[in-house]
Amino acid sequence: MKKKDIDWGNIPFDYMVTDYRYVSMYEDGKWDDGVLTGDATIKLSECAGVLQYAQEVFEGLKAYETVDGKIVTVRPDLNAERIYNSAIRLEMPPFPKERFIDAVEQVVRANAAWVPPYGSGATLYIRPFEFGFDSVIGVKPSDVYQFRMFTTPVGPYFKGRVRPIAVKITDYDRAAPHGTGGIKAALNYAMSLKAIMEAHREGYSENFYLDPATRTYIQETGGANIIFITKDHKFVTPKSDSILPSVTRRSLEVVAKDYMGMEVEERPVALAEVPDFVEVGVCGTAAVIAPVGEIHDHGNVIHVPSGMDEIGPVLKEMRETLTGIQMGTIKAPEGWIHEVKVED
C-alpha cells in the first residue's frame, strides 16, 4: 500500500481531510448498518440538538505503524466503553461497543495510506463522535443521532525533545460536583476555552483544576489527567468522579506496576501535598506524558524537583515504555493491541 506523499516529519496537530470516514445514523429507535463515505461534510437542520443544546460526545485515539510495518490501535475497547458511558450521561443512544471497534478497523483500513510511517513521530488520530441530529427547540434529547468517525494524521506533540511545561492553578472550575466532568463531551471543552486562553496569555501551557466543592484537591487539566511520582517511587494519580478516566493514565498505571515494579495509588491528592512529589506530569493520547516543571499558584511557585530542563527519570522511562508498546518495540500486555490488517 502506497503512503500519501506527505512530509510526515513536519505535519502539525491540525485537521487534514483524509479519504474516508465512517457514518451510522440512529433513527426510529435503531442504528443503521453504517457506511464509509468520502463526504467530509455534514448537512443538518439549523435546529439540530447538537447546535442548540450541545448534545455531543466524542473520543480520541490513534493508529500507529509499528516497527514491523503493522498498523495497530491500542486498547480501543476502552474508548468504545467510554463513549458508551458518555452517551448514556447525555441521554443519547449508546453506540454498540463491538461496532465501535469494527468502525475503527474499517476507517483505519480505508485510510491506511494516511497512517504515518514508523519513526516519523506522526500518528493517525481517530476522532469518533456522536451528536443529536434532528431539530429540537423545547429542551429534550434528540430523536435522531449521527455517529461518525474520521481520521487525520497528526504530528508529534513535542517537536524534538520532550520539554517540561509550566502550569497554573486556575480559578475557574472545569466540572461541577455530580456534573459531567467524568464524560468526554464537547460541553466540557467549550467552557474551558476561556480558562486555557487566559493561561496561555499569562505564559502557562495548561491549567490545573481543583475540585470545585472545596478547592483543596487537584483534579486534572482541561484535556489530560495528572500523575505524580513520590520520593519513595510510588505512582500517584488523583481519584474523583469528575475526572475523565484517561486511557493513557490507566495504561501508565499498568506500566508503572507491571513493567517498573512500582506501587500505584489512586486517591484524592491535596494541593497542599504537591510540593512533596519529585515528578509531575500530565497525560493523554496527544502528548502521552508532558512533564510539569513548575506549578504557579497565585504568586506561589511550586518548583518540581525534576525541573524545567528535562523530563524526570521515572516519567521518562514510563513514557518510553508506553510509546514502545504502541510502536511494537516493547511487548504489550495481553489484549492491548488491535492489529488492522491491510492488503498491500
Ligand X SMILES: *Cc1c(COP(=O)(O)O)cnc(C)c1O
What is the set of active-site residues?
184
CA distance 216 to 269: 9
Minimum CB distance to ligand X, residue 238 (Å): 11
Nearer to ligand X among residue 136 and residue 249 (C-beta): 249
Note whether 289 and 281 are within 8 A (CB). Answer: yes
What's the distance, CA 3 to chain centroid? 26
Per CB under 6 A, residues contacting ligand X are 60, 184, 220, 223-225, 244, 246-249, 284-285
What's the distance, CA 288 to chain centroid? 9
Nearer to ligand X among residue 34 and residue 181 (C-beta): 181
Minimum CB distance to ligand X, residue 123 (Å): 12
Minimum CB distance to ligand X, residue 224 (Å): 5
CA distance 202 to 194: 12
Minimum CB distance to ligand X, residue 259 (Å): 18
Nearer to ligand X among residue 106 and residue 285 (C-beta): 285
Nearer to ligand X among residue 205 and residue 285 (C-beta): 285
